[in-house]
Amino acid sequence: MPREPFLRIRSVLEKRLQRLGAMRPRGLPAFLGIGAQKSGTTWLHARLREHPAIYVPEEKEQHYFDWNFHRPLAEYARVFRPAGERLAGEITPGYAILPDERIDFISRVMPEVRIIYLMRDPVERAWSQVVMNAVEIDGEDPAAIDDAAWLRRLGEPRVVRRGDHAAVLDAWSRRVPRDRIMVGWFEEIAEAPTDLLHRIHDFLGVERHTPVDSGVVRPGAGVPMPPGVRAGLVEMLHPQLEGLANRYEGRCREWYERWCG
């Protein structure tokens, strides 16, 4: 039998047992950074790699629980073997929108896992994502994309879901205790990066470590949002912005007042 089909069959059979607590490999990560996409996760990955007591793989996004779930869990665990005695973790923003059954699987095989989630203004986050997809990935000329086309892209489910912070946190908190989920804010990376990082260190239970380069965020393409697109996007996200403001206040209230006040 070819190796790849065999591995897929093995993975399916093992996962049935792993959901019941059996055949769980050693060395699985202690924490996951689950997003949000375009909210500072590249910064977070770089800063955590600087900490002597933390191990995150050189490759930022492992994508095991979304793209590579057909592979055996033991393969994923091997990624973290170099950690030794260090606290192991990884950052894949795609995990934010995992289906419920995948989150449930994670909670069963990693029952003590800690979750880090960085939130960003939904309007700015959505624009950053579609610009990345269109300009940086697909190589399109932004001047050739009209307002209607931008708004169609901004309304795609993959964009809306990645910025629906309340839905993400609800899904994860149904399976992971709320005290093991930490929320940080994209704005903190510019305003108080060391303070944010120290809160993350405290949350993970490691000694505070001063970052080497505390304020680096991967720059985007720098495409300004056309006024018509801004108006349409704010209207589209109004319920989300209002819900976040009523639920979390603070920065979420500032986002709401900025766009809807």
Q: Assess whether pLDDT exceeds 50 at residue 250.
A: yes
CB neighbours (10 Å) of residue 50? Answer: 14
Cα dihedral sign for 126, 127, 128, 130? positive
**Mean pLDDT, residues 186-203:** 95
Q: Assess whether pLDDT exceeds 50 at residue 1.
A: no
Task: Yes or no: say if 243 and 232 are a contact pair by the CB < 8 Å rule.
Answer: no
Q: Assess whether pLDDT exceeds 50 at residue 251.
A: yes
CATH of 34-260, one of 3.30.70.580, 3.40.640.10, 3.40.50.300, 3.30.565.10: 3.40.50.300
CA distance linking residue 86 with residue 206, whole number of Å: 10
pLDDT in tens, 88-141: 999 999 999 999 999 999 999 999 999 999 999 999 999 999 999 999 999 999
Burial of 91 (0-12, 13-18, 19+ CB in 10 A): buried
CA distance linking residue 29 with residue 6, whole number of Å: 25
**For the chain, what percent of residues have pLDDT higher than 90?**
89
CA distance linking residue 32 with residue 82, whole number of Å: 17
CA distance linking residue 255 with residue 195, whole number of Å: 21
**Mean pLDDT, residues 225-241:** 97
pLDDT in tens, 130-165: 999 999 999 999 999 999 999 999 999 999 999 999
Per-residue pLDDT at 60? 95
**Domain spans in the chain, listed from the N-terminal domain onward:** 34-260
Task: Yes or no: say if 225 and 145 are a contact pair by the CB < 8 Å rule.
Answer: no
